[in-house]
Amino acid sequence: MIYTYRTTGTCSTNIEIEVEGDVIKNVVYWGGCNGNLQGISKLLKGMKVSDVISKLEGIKCGNRSTSCPDQLCKALHEMGY
């Protein structure tokens, strides 16, 4: 399943997430800190969704109340995980 999530409160504008069963197959961020987000995306490949959420949920970026990794967790919850 491929899902596109519109982010709020971050430099990135959207996240495309591909999940098969409960495993992350691919994550692509639109905008944001390109190098960092490419690195995060590669690290997430093959991880269980529950592990991603437990590691990344609640991360803040500077004085913002959210971050690109936290927005990914919000998207995963919206997808039913």
**Tokens read off for 73:** 């967790």
50: helix, strand or coil: helix
Rounded Cα–Cα distance for residues 14 and 68 (Å): 9
Q: Map tokens 């996240």 to a residue.
A: 15
**pLDDT at 39 > cutoff 90:** yes
Q: What is the mean pLDDT of residues 58-72?
A: 97
DSSP single-letter state for residue 48: B
Average pLDDT, the chain: 97
Specify the number of domains making up the chain: 1
Q: What is the pTM of this model?
A: 0.95
- In the chain, % helix, strand, coil (3-state, to 5) comes to 35, 30, 35
Q: What is the pLDDT of residues 4-21, one digit of tens each?
A: 999 999 999 999 999 999
Give the pLDDT of residue 1.
Answer: 87
Domain that includes residue 10, residue range: 2-78
- pLDDT of 63 > 90? The answer is yes
Q: Tell me the average pLDDT across 23-45.
A: 97
Per the structure block, which two tokens stand in for 4?
């596109």
